[in-house]
């Protein structure tokens, strides 16, 4: 079976210098196990989307060894601390798997700085279980608890 190419792995190895839209790959920070850089899908409101990725290829987050997950979170913490100088909030997003809109099958955390009223979650409000729906809450709790016991 032929190994599928990974754009992130190509960036890390130096085999690729530019992204699919011609924007350059420029590392922001690098550690032993991780690297961060600007993503090409940058929100108009904050103008920043930083990706933090492991240098080694892992498709799903559960495949990443604990020491590398620790490095990824520490790396993310450094990025967030820096962004906090200008932005009062931050979201960390992990799209894990194709149905979760993971465009590049290489584990990566999106770090989105946030400003008050930026509209980041617009439209999501209607999809949440209301605070008063204890029946739905209990049902969901039981489902997740059962999965954790397997």
Q: Is residue 138 part of a domain?
A: no
CATH for 98: 3.30.428.10
Sheet of 89-94, strand order: 27-30, 34-38, 50-54, 109-114, 89-94
Q: Is residue 93 part of a domain?
A: yes
pTM of the model: 0.85
Give me the catalytic one of 33, 75, 106, 108: 108
What integer pLDDT is reported at residue 60 of this predicted model?
97
What integer pLDDT is reported at residue 67 of this predicted model?
98
Separation CA 90–CA 67 (nearest Å): 24
Q: Is residue 140 part of a domain?
A: no
Q: Is residue 50 part of a domain?
A: yes
What integer pLDDT is reported at residue 61 of this predicted model?
97
What integer pLDDT is reported at residue 126 of this predicted model?
56
Q: Is residue 24 part of a domain?
A: yes
End-to-end CA distance of the chain: 32
Q: Is residue 150 part of a domain?
A: no
- Tens of pLDDT, residue by residue over 131-143, are 566 787 678 778 7
What integer pLDDT is reported at residue 1 of this predicted model?
37
Local structure of 134: helix, strand or coil = helix
- Tens of pLDDT, residue by residue over 60-77, are 999 999 999 999 999 999
Q: Is residue 26 part of a domain?
A: yes
CB atoms within 10 A of CB 20: 8
**CA distances in angstroms from 112 to 27, 71, 75, listed in the order given:** 17, 19, 14
Q: Is residue 142 part of a domain?
A: no
**Tokens encoding 130:** 């209301």
- Tens of pLDDT, residue by residue over 26-61, are 899 999 999 999 888 877 777 888 999 999 999 999
Domain that holds residue 112: 7-120
Provide the domain count of the chain: 1
* Residue 108 annotated in active site: yes
């Amino acid at each position: 079976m032929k190994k599928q190419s990974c754009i992130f792995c190509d960036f890390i190895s130096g085999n690729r210098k530019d992204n699919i839209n011609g924007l350059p790959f420029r590392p922001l920070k690098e550690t032993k196990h991780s690297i961060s850089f600007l993503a090409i899908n940058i929100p108009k409101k904050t103008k920043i989307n930083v990706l933090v990725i492991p240098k080694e290829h892992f498709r799903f987050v559960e495949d990443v060894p604990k020491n590398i997950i620790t490095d990824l979170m520490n790396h993310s913490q450094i990025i967030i601390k820096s962004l906090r100088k200008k932005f009062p909030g931050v979201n960390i997003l992990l799209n894990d798997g194709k149905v979760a809109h993971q465009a590049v099958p290489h584990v990566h955390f999106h770090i989105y700085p946030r400003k008050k009223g930026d509209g980041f979650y617009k439209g999501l409000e209607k999809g949440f279980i209301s605070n008063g729906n204890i029946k739905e809450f209990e049902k969901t709790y039981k489902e997740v608890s059962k999965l954790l016991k397997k």
